[in-house]
Structure 1
Amino acid sequence: MTPSLADALKGRLIVSCQAPPGDPMRHTDTLVRMALAARAGGAAAVRVNEPEVVAATVAAVGLPVIGLWKDGDTGVYITPTVRHALALVEAGAAIVAADATARPRPDGSTFAELVEAVHEAGAQVMADVSTLDEGREAAAQGADFVATTLSGYVPGSARQTAPDLRLVAELAAEIRTPVIAEGRISTPAQAAEALAAGALSVVVGTAITAPTALTRLFVDGLAR
């Protein structure tokens, strides 16, 4: 791990600048402008999806870019193979985020192989996990950061409506690898609580960069 990158993220906000398929915001220029707005607001880094958007964001924004590549929507689909990971490094990602759960990868590779390939290519790896055991294993396999991204979203991880601060605290207490809090963080108070629980930094997405989802919340609220 490069200490300067971890230092740059310490105690600060990472903004996830993504949009789901079919969303009006899913356009490269729009997502780059979203990242620019995050920078203007004081974000330390951005997390973006797909090599094209990574490359455009790296060229325009001037912040560390955490790149991922969502391929599909079931099983392991966040940067599922070494090929996906290396494409993100080639696009300029400083950190590659990848699913590090215990589920099988579609090409039969291992998370450890992905970590090795990314390190050899000169970038770092953020392991997206859902449980303490997965976080321990990802750290043992060389991940530079361990994120709680998938807590509550995969089998074996309890569904929740709030951030999994318990997992953040457990990981921070048990592994030396920096822990990134991500998932269902919707208020500044929750972000601060995540840091207090031991997170190095905090990723926020929907609460900042998803106008379609936020509009739907208000529409649903008015319909009750």
Structure 2
Amino acid sequence: MITLPTGLIVSCQALEGEPLHSEFIMGRMAIAAVQGGAKGIRANSARDIQEIKKHVTVPIIGIVKRDYEDSDVFITATMKEIEELMEVGVDAIALDATKRPRPGNLSLQELVHAIRSIYPNQLLMADCATLEDCIEADRLGFDYISTTLHGYTDETKGSLLYHDDFKFLKDVLDHVTQPVVAEGNILTPEMAKRCMDLGTHAVVVGGAITRPHQITARFDAALTSSVKSPL
């Protein structure tokens, strides 16, 4: 069984409506990431993953983002998304592992059991928001525990992974047995290094590398805030 690499994993994603939304562009983005030293790629949708696999050979973490009317869970929410990823082939599948209600009221435990029953050798990554999520994902037997959704759910909104010298990440590392992947608002190489120094297996960086509109907005915000009002 292939395991996920230690080090930097780059998330190559662009949602519909974003400037770089194109499987062609994501394929080239993955090439650039690997040339820069990325040890793995995280990608969204079978279409993008198929294109990326034409150009790079590093391990791929696959997800499918899809909105459901009866749930706020949108990262690989049901077996439909699992099947799509299995068909295209990925090294690991990441899915929302929060305690939020899932589409069709399927529990996370039921979904994990269904996946393991059909695909016992497939690596699974838990995208978590809280420490409780991480502990439960560890109990359910996920292969990797990730901090992906910390700060993105109603319960954690406003909290950032790097607050108080990565206290949340430290708590996760102290409470789970499976390898931990740091992800979520890691904006600088120094932040990524700090995560690795604390003991994470890998660090996933997305927007700080692959979303130029977000990068530009941070520069613009910094410059705008530094402009003094005329006397």
Q: Find the residue that maps to 2:105 and give its secondary structure.
A: coil
Q: Which letter maps to 1:85? A: I
Contiguous gaps of at least 5 residues in structure 1: none
Partner of 2:55: 60
Partner of 2:228: none
1:82 partnered with 2:83: no
Q: Which letter maps to 1:135? A: C
Deviating runs (4+, > 6 A) in structure 1?
none
TM-superposed CA distance for 1:18, in Å, is 0.7
The structure with the larger Rg is 2
Q: 2:98 aligns with which of 79, 98, 101?
A: 101
Q: Which letter maps to 1:131? A: T
For residues 158-187 of structure 1, what are the alpha-carbon distances to aligned partners after superposition, in whole Å with 9 as ceiling and x for unaligned?
513553522221121111111000001011
Percent identical residues: 36
Partner of 1:137: 136
Q: Which letter maps to 2:80? A: R
Q: What TM-score, normalized by structure 1, do the two folds share?
A: 0.91
For 1:25 and 1:150, the matched residues in 2 are separated by 23
Partner of 2:149: 150
TM-superposed CA distance for 1:211, in Å, is 0.6
For 1:142 and 1:86, the matched residues in 2 are separated by 20
Q: Which letter maps to 1:126? A: M
For residues 74-100 of structure 1, what are the alpha-carbon distances to aligned partners after superposition, in whole Å with 9 as ceiling and x for unaligned?
710111111111211211111111100
Matches within 5 A, 1:162-173: 163=162, 165-173=166-174
1:56 and 1:172, CA in 2 relative to 1: closer, same or farther beyond 3 A? same
Maintained 8 Å contact 1:169/1:199:
no
1:194 and 1:220, CA in 2 relative to 1: closer, same or farther beyond 3 A? same
Maintained 8 Å contact 2:13/2:44:
yes
Partner of 1:110: 107
Q: Number of aligned pairs?
A: 219
TM-superposed CA distance for 1:153, in Å, is 1.0
For 1:222 and 1:189, the matched residues in 2 are separated by 21
Maintained 8 Å contact 2:150/2:160:
no
TM-superposed CA distance for 1:13, in Å, is 0.3
Partner of 2:217: 216
Q: Which letter maps to 1:130? A: A
Q: CA RMSD in A?
A: 1.8
TM-superposed CA distance for 1:217, in Å, is 2.1
1:50 partnered with 2:45: yes
1:162 and 1:111, CA in 2 relative to 1: closer, same or farther beyond 3 A? closer
Partner of 1:5: 3
Q: What TM-score, normalized by structure 2, do the two folds share?
A: 0.88
Q: Which letter maps to 2:76? A: T
For residues 60-80 of structure 1, what are the alpha-carbon distances to aligned partners after superposition, in whole Å with 9 as ceiling and x for unaligned?
211111011111287101111
Partner of 2:123: 124
